[in-house]
Amino acid sequence: MNTFIETGLQDEILKAIQDLGYEKPTPIQAKTISHLLQTENDLMALAQTGTGKTAAFGLPTLQKVAPANKATQVLILAPTRELALQITADMQKFAKYIKGINIVPVYGGASIENQIKDLKKGAQIVVATPGRAKDLLNRGRLKIDQINTLILDEADEMLTMGFKDELDAILAKTPQDKQTLLFSATMSKEVERISKNYMHNTEKISVAAENKGAETVEHIYHMVNAKHRYEVLKRIADMNPDIYGIVFCRTRRETKDVAAKLMSDGYNADALHGDMSQSQRDYVMKRFRNKQLQLLVATDVAARGLDVNNLTHVINYNLPDQTEYYTHRSGRTGRAGKKGTSIAIIHTREKNKLRDIERASKIRFTQKQVPNGAEICSNQLMSLTDKVVNTKVDNHQIEPFLEEIYHKFEHLSKEEVIKHFVSTEFNRFLNYYKNAKDINASENTRDKKSVKERRNNHEFTRLFLNVGKKENLTPLRLIGIINNALDSGNVEIGKIEILKNFSFFEIDSKAAGQLVQKIGSEKFEGRDLSVEVANPGNGGGERSRKRDKRKRTKSFETSKGRNRSGRRR
């Protein structure tokens, strides 16, 4: 399918997408539009951010809406306010030449009364976040008993964000004969559960491989010791004077800290995280979209649904806890045929994690040296020179001041004037980087503190966790659970043992109590998490001690029948 004309879309829709400059459907659009216009079967589509999902489900859905019927016919659920508003804006553009279609977004953080008024006017299409949709359903203000299409966009993220109960409540109130479209970047157990319980005659399509960005996104990494991570970020920004990108951090606390440091050091940056009010988020995003900010520091969850064009860089201040999140991040640059760069700042113990991302995402990272002072100063100087050369001169306005300016410069030669001018604008970089050290780390080096040294310097508490290999828990995902619960990536973690149905791990004793208290509000693969101290002598760890004893007994009995080579005696 080479053009949208071949899809079978009606003339009004074709005219609207022609105005938007759309010519050739993306792979997800070609497959989804064809499916929706030809069959009523449910559809599960695996597709990443940036593949054109909104047009894929939005264009054929509009064609099936009856404008004369004011009842809600389509419900689109999205994980965040930003994504809901983006979908609404896109759908309104697609419906530009279709009279009588009303598209209403409903989401948290805004007046529910105003949204109720909008719904009363009639809305054939409602775009909602799960929490606000459930609230409006309970109030009897959102009517979905007549919908013929239900769309779950970024279903995996809605479940990751804890909307399982809301989704179940909403889906249970929808008609049995509707068509359900589920879009997800990953196929988690919870996504499979939704599909099994609420979808029928489901067809599956996957275009994940089309979103790797291999041709338009350069994937590179800088390897440094962890203490130099922020210095690397500054050097990346200084090396690229026209940078316009997102810096991804693992936790809210880290996001705040990094953004605060950047702003304190004079960079055009700000943060986006879950602790911000909606008005604060709107203010930051308006500045970022208007390019008043060059760097937006954000968590993965906070950045969900952000659709910003022409990003030059995505910077992974920390690699994501889940490998598939890297593709979500890097897919935000290198769009519409433009080149983009995704940079990972890693320390010496993260090489294996990088390789996991390569295998899962089918991309290849290139290691590059952190820019040194001479390279950065050269780039900044050339950028300044280009800016001066390309500055538009208004002779009429500047003419009255020239005589006095010439008088002040008359004792200086042309070369000296240039030197003085450049120094005025450029001395800050020269002074900062004149003694800049090489902070690159070799793949063969290790952080100064070995595991043994870390154990000697920290008192660890051994904890029991109620999930294990059966729930696809890995050491990497366990570390992510701990970081999210503590809202920190700095806590010391010792030995990790992941068994079939449960796990043990060691953590700095100073953080153990806080983790036990906070992790109870977390979920993993749809299961409530619980943690208790596994140290003997503590009544709260009786269950874990018994399990631990059984594990050690089994391990001892197995080892008794083997010699050192592993063969049975």
CA neighbor of 491 nearest in space, from 509, 518, 517: 509
pLDDT tens-digit map of 157-174: 888 778 889 999 999 999
Instruction: Kindly state whether residues 128 and 197 are assigned to the same domain.
Output: yes
With cut-offs at 50, 70 and 90, classify the pLDDT of residue 535. Answer: low
Tell me which range, 4-18, 178-192, 228-242, 530-544, is most confidently predicted by mean pLDDT: 228-242
Average pLDDT over residues 331-351: 86
With cut-offs at 50, 70 and 90, classify the pLDDT of residue 206. Answer: confident
Query: Does 245 reside within a domain?
Result: yes
CATH classification of the domain holding 337: 3.40.50.300
Instruction: Report phi then psi at 267, rounded to 5.
Output: -90, 150
pLDDT tens-digit map of 37-53: 888 999 998 876 667 88
Q: Which of residues 159, 178, 211 is at a domain's end? A: 211
Q: Quick check: 561 pLDDT over 50?
A: no
Q: State the average pLDDT for the chain.
A: 84
Half-sphere exposure of 491 (CA within 13 A, CB side): 28
pLDDT of amino acid 551: 45
pLDDT tens-digit map of 451-461: 454 555 568 89
CA 149 to chain centre: 27
The proportion of the chain whose per-residue pLDDT surpasses 90, expressed as a percent, equals 38
**What domain range includes position 459?**
451-560
CA neighbor of 129 nearest in space, from 146, 113, 142: 142
Instruction: Kindly state whether residues 186 and 296 are assigned to the same domain.
Output: no
Q: Which of residues 211, 237, 259 is at a domain's end? A: 211
- Please tell me the total count of domains within the chain: 4
Its pTM surpasses 0.75: no
> How many Å is the Cα radius of gyration of the chain?
28
Query: Does 344 reside within a domain?
Result: yes
With cut-offs at 50, 70 and 90, classify the pLDDT of residue 568. Answer: very low
Instruction: Kindly state whether residues 135 and 238 are assigned to the same domain.
Output: no
Q: Quick check: 492 pLDDT over 60?
A: yes
Instruction: Kindly state whether residues 259 and 344 are assigned to the same domain.
Output: yes
Q: Which of residues 372, 395, 417 is at a domain's end? A: 372
For residues 268-292, one letter each, b for 16 or more C-beta atoms within 10 angstroms of the residue's C-beta and e for the rest, the string is: bbbbbbeebeeeebbebbeebeeee
Instruction: Kindly state whether residues 403 and 456 are assigned to the same domain.
Output: no
Q: Quick check: 365 pLDDT over 90?
A: yes
